[in-house]
């Protein structure tokens, strides 16, 4: 692999991680699911769920987002280890929001990622979510009224 190819791969993987957050924030469920390989997995062991396949991931993100009054996620650079057409990495996440049942949620977490180069570009082969800090104190703010 050339040094230029490694730079291109890293930029494309960073863009993939940003697309994940953007698709989630924009509630673009189809785009969200398309960021995974066909047999990709999205795992959240802290709540005992996992979704394997684009179809399961698409259904899950739509169902999960329906639980939130509002939700904000920001993504921060992590690590990337390239290995040809595969890679592994970590992505750091900050999230907050309020669920429709009134519960609040603020957390800092990370994704343990496996990436796969596909004909459509880099995709997630697996994302495993690990919460590092959780605060369920009621949030003082609110979403703007439309």
The answer to whether position 50 is within a domain reads yes
In a domain, 145, yes or no: no
Question: Can you give the pLDDT at residue 22?
Answer: 97
What local confidence, expressed as pLDDT, does residue 12 receive?
98
- Domain contains 141: no
Residue-level pLDDT at 145: 81
Residue 81 belongs to a domain with what CATH number? 3.10.450.50
Residue 27 falls inside a structural domain = yes
For the chain, the distance separating the N- and C-terminal CA atoms, rounded to the nearest angstrom, is 50
Residues 6+ apart with CB under 8 A from 26: none
Q: H or E stretch including 122?
A: strand 121-135
* CB 35 within 8 Å of CB 23: yes
**Domain tally, the chain:** 1
Task: Determine, yes or no, domain membership for 118.
Answer: yes
**Residue 146, pLDDT score:** 72
Residue 71 domain flag: yes
Q: In the chain, which stretches have pLDDT less than 50? A: none
């Amino acid at each position: 692999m050339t040094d230029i190819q490694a730079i291109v791969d890293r930029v494309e993987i960073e863009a993939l991680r940003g697309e994940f957050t953007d698709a989630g924030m924009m509630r673009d469920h189809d785009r969200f699911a398309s960021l995974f390989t066909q047999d990709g997995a999205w795992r959240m062991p802290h709540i005992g769920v996992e979704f394997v396949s684009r179809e399961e991931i698409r259904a899950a993100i739509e169902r999960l987002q329906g639980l939130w009054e509002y939700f904000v996620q920001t993504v921060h650079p992590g690590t990337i280890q390239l290995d040809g057409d595969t890679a592994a990495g970590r992505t750091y996440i900050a999230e907050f929001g309020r669920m429709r049942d009134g519960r609040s949620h603020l957390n800092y977490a990370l994704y343990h990622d496996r990436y796969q180069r596909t004909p459509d570009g880099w995709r997630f082969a697996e994302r495993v979510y690990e919460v590092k800090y959780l605060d369920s104190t009621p949030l003082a703010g609110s979403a703007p009224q439309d």
